[in-house]
Amino acid sequence: MLAALTSSPALSKVDSLITLLDSPDQRLVVLDELCFHYRHIDYDSVIFYGSIGYNESRIQGEMEKVMLFADYLGSANYKKARYDQAVKYYTEALIAGKQIQDSSYLVSINNALGVVYFRIGDLEQAAQYMISAINIAEIIGDSPRFISSCLQNLGSLQFKLNQNTEAKDYFNRALRISASNGDSIHIGNIYHNLGVLYKDGFSKLDSAQGYFELALDIRKQMGRGIDLARTLNSYGRLQEELTDYKKAITQYREAIIESQKVGSVLITLAAHHNTSRTFSKLRYYKAALEYAELVGYGLDSIMSLDIKKDHEKLLSNIYEALGQYSEALIHQKQYQQLKDSLMNGEKAKVIANLEWRYKIEGNERTIAQLKAEGKVKETQSKVRLWVIIIICIFLSALIYVFYLKTRLNRQRAARLLAENRQRELELDLKHQELSALSLNLMSKNNALSKVKEKVQVDGNENVKDALKVIDANFALDEDWGHFKMHFEKVHHGFFERLKSKYPTITLNEEKLCAYLLINLSSKEIARLSHSSLSAIEKSRYRLRKKLGLTTEANLHYFLRSI
């Protein structure tokens, strides 16, 4: 059915066909198939059909479909660099996924949100979602493909924080997982990321070139338009650094063609910007200006202030080289405004305006003053110039120190967050081991009880011996030793604190405290200790008395406070 829908001329009749379908379920199925078909080739179509499906599934209360269409919309908006919309829809998908308890989808959506926040520059949020994704994936034993994707994103985050060695470790772990599963798509992504890391992080351009070429081979074989465009653009940047400008321009132009095929605005603009900069280095300023103006047409759809800032700086340099100083000044001011927004400092704005005003206007004014006022005013101008330069250098240093301090604080916060997540995961695993051990002990005692009931009917000596063995098994301290060892890992020092506060407490009462602390019921404790329910209730009563608790006090919460 999908082949018929997406073939021309049937494509123009798709909307009519959807409205003619009587069953809402049929409409949602068709919309799902359309979004799936267009997900890599036409993002606008995904947004159009995904919006219809998202709204209809919300009306029907189909949370699984809400999650599915919100995921489509988040992905398409991200690839069109509409990051605010991507966050909105991915968050909706995450909420729906939690409601239907789809753990695999929660891995995917947390991972996707981490990528979006990483692209926006909110590294703390990015780390939070990425770590959540990999924790869930490892707990539920999710597919290696998801785990590889999470590791890649954590590697990119470490690279952004200038933790290059850690980033390489994450990428290599992801590569081993993807290679063992023959996942060519992720292998291509990892080679691309390693190329960027070796180029910008380690400054090893030969290694970077090798990784980029491996990524290009895979992506050309698979025909992955947006991924191919991204690698071509990055490979062009490498050639530009190697000063092979003609080869760089060739790579950028191929990237533009591939990105336009799939409607990727961000990569198209980046490749145009890079082409313009390369022409500027070759001093082909008119060609550079043509490509720079192409970038300007699409900048309104881009949220990234970094991209806009770099573009304004490039335009300013081109116009200055062409001798069009008024235009250069306009773009320099726009560049400075964007730079100030990123730095969030009014002092930076004043400094930069002084620098540029002096550079563009000061030279002509100084020359005029020298001619009119002579050697004395020349000396005064030089003094003023040096004062301004010294002030600018001092203020710039202050701002840079503040920037470094803020950056270090963010890096520290991201590392602390990752460490806390790891500790939480380890504690959860220890709780699971403790619960499993308790269940095993209860299961063993139940089994022994059933065997005892069956053999008690026969009164011969062999049976009596068997009963003695079973009773002895109930009384073994070995099981308690295993349990106590695992319990201490989770509640370190509990028994020491309990004994120091209540020296008269017995071993059986210690065991009862431990079972109550892990929230076992009286019935479960009876099964675990091979005692009657009434005996356990009496033991609880005596324990309360020894601990000095009233009947209204919660015994479990009291034990937790020790």
Residue (of 301, 307, 302, 297) closest to 335 by Cα position: 307
pLDDT at 445: 61
Q: How far apart are CA 153 and CA 100, in angstroms?
A: 26
Structure tokens at 465: 């011996």
Give the pair of three-digit tokens for residue 488.
């201490």
pLDDT of the residue at 444: 63
Up-side HSE of residue 179: CA atoms within 13 Å toward CB? 8
Integer angstrom CA distances of residue 36 from 18, 41, 57, 436: 16, 10, 16, 42
Phi, psi of 490 (to 5 degrees): -90, -45
- Quote the pLDDT of residue 551: 82
Spatial distance between the Cα atoms of 196 and 202, rounded to a whole number of angstroms: 9
The predicted pLDDT at position 373 comes to: 57
Residue type present at position 433: E
- pLDDT score recorded for residue 67: 92
pLDDT at 356: 33
pLDDT at 473: 52
Concatenated DSSP letters for 371-431? HHH-HHHHHHHHHHHHHHHHHHHHHHHHHHHHHHHHHHHHHHHHHHHHHHHHHHHHHHHHH
Token pair for 80: 């069109």
Q: Which of 192, 60, 124, 167 is nearest to 407 (CA)?
A: 124
Ordered DSSP codes for 204-223: -HHHHHHHHHHHHHHHHHHT
Residues present in the chain in total: 562
* Token couple for 188: 């291509």
Cα 96 from Cα 109, distance rounded (Å): 11
- Tell me which residue of 204, 205, 252, 199 sits closest to 229, measured CA to CA: 252
Distance CA 192, CA 186 (A): 10
Low-confidence stretches of the chain (pLDDT < 70) are 1-22, 142-143, 224, 296-305, 342-375, 425-479
Rg (the chain; Cα; Å): 34
Determine the pLDDT at residue 413.
Answer: 84
Q: Which helix (H) or strand (E) holds 23?
A: none
Q: Report pLDDT digits (tens) over 450-466.
A: 666 666 655 555 565 55
The set of residues, in sequence order, having a beta carbon less than 8 Å from that of 31 and lying 6+ positions away, is 18, 49, 50, 52, 53, 56, 69
Positive or negative torsion for Cα 524, 527, 533, 539: negative
pTM of the predicted structure, to 2 decimals: 0.48
For residue 1, the model assigns a pLDDT of 44
CB-based burial, 376-404: b 16+ in 10 Å, e otherwise: eeeeebeeeeeeeeeebeebeeeeeeeee
Q: Name, in order, each residue with C-beta under 8 angstroms of 213's C-beta and a sequence gap of 6 or more.
A: 235
pLDDT of residue 56: 92
